[in-house]
Amino acid sequence: MRILATSPLIPRPDTASGDRRFAAILKLLARRAQVDFAAGETLPPRTAPDHRHLRALEKINVQVVAGGADNIHDCLARNRYDAIYSEFWAHSRFITHLARNIQPWARIVVDSVDVHFLREEAAARLGLNDPTSVAERKVQELTVYRGAHTVIAITEEDEIALHREGGIARVLRLPNIVESRPRAHLDRGNQMLFVGGFGHPPNRDAVHWFVTEILPRIRARIPDASFRVVGAKPPPDITALNGAPGVQIVGFVPDTGPYLDAAAVSVAPLRYGAGMKGKVTEALSAGLPVVTTSAGAQGLRAVSGEHLIVADEAASFADAVVQLLQDADRAARLGANGQRHILSLCGEPAASAVIDQLLQHLQGVRTPTLAPLRMLTYRALRSVARAGRRPPPPTPTPPPPGSAKPTVQAPPESR
């Protein structure tokens, strides 16, 4: 099979857990099929530092074929594909429109990454989103899913929500993909760690809630407790917290490993969200004890007190962290249990089984005999459009507020 994988931005696994998941999926697909990748953003020159992410794709046998919305048009007109694997509903709406016009035989697979309307509805309940706008975007999102051959959900909760809405042909669940990281026996002190990029609104809210409502309760009982925040692009209101009692805002780091090793407890105080949380799965895979909320534990099938600790109120969250900081043996047991659990759920064998299931379902695709003629016709019409003798193909729509990645636009916004 030949598959076009596409995303609004080049996957940068060192900046976002969603990108790390997408890169792992591309690796698994490329072991089984010919995979091309097209980014919605313009590709960096080979001399640019950011080009390392493209080289990383080439190392896993993924061919980078296009960058920028206009070049994706041309890529589809030049190359025949059996299937198109597209990330995020807003980007997928643009891709689906192109595919229906140029390669209508290609099966469309939309990876939701998380079901956005669930996250946005939760934010609206906290007064952080406009309910009317959320309802409008929900209709648009569901329209994209209903037009796809297969929709990928990350969690059982997301899968159930999509089935409940109805009209979606097929939903497969493909969670985050993690690798085990050994946990050394060290004296870590009373350090807490939060990992998360700040292009994602729930992370910003989580840090503020922790610093204002939870951390003071912890430091009242453990005065030397410290809170370290690692994540790309912290906005001014987050960087302003640096230097507050017990708070260190680190920002972007190329490798979170040393920070996971140094922390005694991972905290994920997310008040809303959807999908599986990379910060939680990463910490669990490293054997780090985790305290999170119901939102942070979504999709993990974890038992609170056995694999991690779930607490939704500031006081109970602080109590859970204090107990782990004061009981190293319990913290170690919780971390080991959580690591075994997450590897069974999100290890590569589990992900490979889902990829095999997806490709088996796509195997029936057959490129029609007249496909080359249709593609040549599209190229000719596009040439006429570029010459100004007819309107060009429609451009992508702006991204919905709060999306983890933007829709394809020029110039693209970096994640």
> What pLDDT, on the 0 to 100 scale, is given for residue 316?
98
What gap in Å lies between CA 205 and CA 163, rounded to an integer?
A: 29
> What pLDDT, on the 0 to 100 scale, is given for residue 70?
87
Confidence of residue 400 (pLDDT cuts 50, 70, 90): low
**Could you tell me how many helices (H) and strands (E) the chain has, helices first?**
16, 13
Supply the mean pLDDT for the chain: 88
pTM above 0.85, yes or no: no
> What pLDDT, on the 0 to 100 scale, is given for residue 185?
80
Confidence of residue 410 (pLDDT cuts 50, 70, 90): very low
> What pLDDT, on the 0 to 100 scale, is given for residue 210?
98
3-state secondary structure of 191: strand
What gap in Å lies between CA 154 and CA 298, rounded to an integer?
A: 10
Cβ atoms within 10 A of the Cβ of 93, count?
20
The reply to whether 2-177+349-386 and 191-346 are identical in fold is yes
82: which strand partners?
none
Q: Which two tokens stand for residue 147?
A: 């037009």
Q: Which whole-number Å values give the CA distances from 277 to 18, 122, 194, 297, 300, in the listed order?
A: 9, 15, 12, 8, 9
Confidence of residue 199 (pLDDT cuts 50, 70, 90): confident
Dihedral angle of Cα 264, 269, 275, 277, to the nearest 10 degrees: -20
What gap in Å lies between CA 230 and CA 233, rounded to an integer?
A: 10
pLDDT beyond 70 at 162: yes
With beta carbons less than 8 A apart as the criterion, state whether 337 and 306 touch.
yes
pLDDT beyond 80 at 309: yes
Q: Which residue has the tokens 């974890």?
A: 302
150-153 and 171-173 strand pairing = parallel
Q: Decide which of 15 and 334 is more confident.
A: 334
pLDDT-above-90 percentage for the chain: 75
Q: Which of 75, 118, 133 is nearest to 99 (CA)?
A: 75
pLDDT beyond 70 at 382: no
Q: Decide which of 70 and 380 is more confident.
A: 70
Region 155-175: mean pLDDT is 94
Q: Which of 43, 39, 32 is nearest to 3 (CA)?
A: 32
Q: Which of 94, 134, 133, 93 is nearest to 117 (CA)?
A: 134
Q: Which whole-number Å values give the CA distances from 321 to 8, 231, 298, in the listed order?
A: 38, 21, 20
Superfamily of domain 2-177+349-386 in the CATH hierarchy: Glycogen Phosphorylase B; (3.40.50.2000)
Confidence of residue 407 (pLDDT cuts 50, 70, 90): very low
Cβ atoms within 10 A of the Cβ of 101, count?
16
Residues, the chain: 415
DSSP conformational letter for 212: I
Confidence of residue 373 (pLDDT cuts 50, 70, 90): low
With beta carbons less than 8 A apart as the criterion, state whether 200 and 271 touch.
no
> What pLDDT, on the 0 to 100 scale, is given for residue 393?
55
pLDDT (tens digit per residue) in 42-75: 998 888 887 899 999 999 999 999 999 889 989 9
Every domain of the chain and the residues it spans: 2-177+349-386, 191-346
The domain 191-346 having CATH identifier 3.40.605.10: the answer here is: no
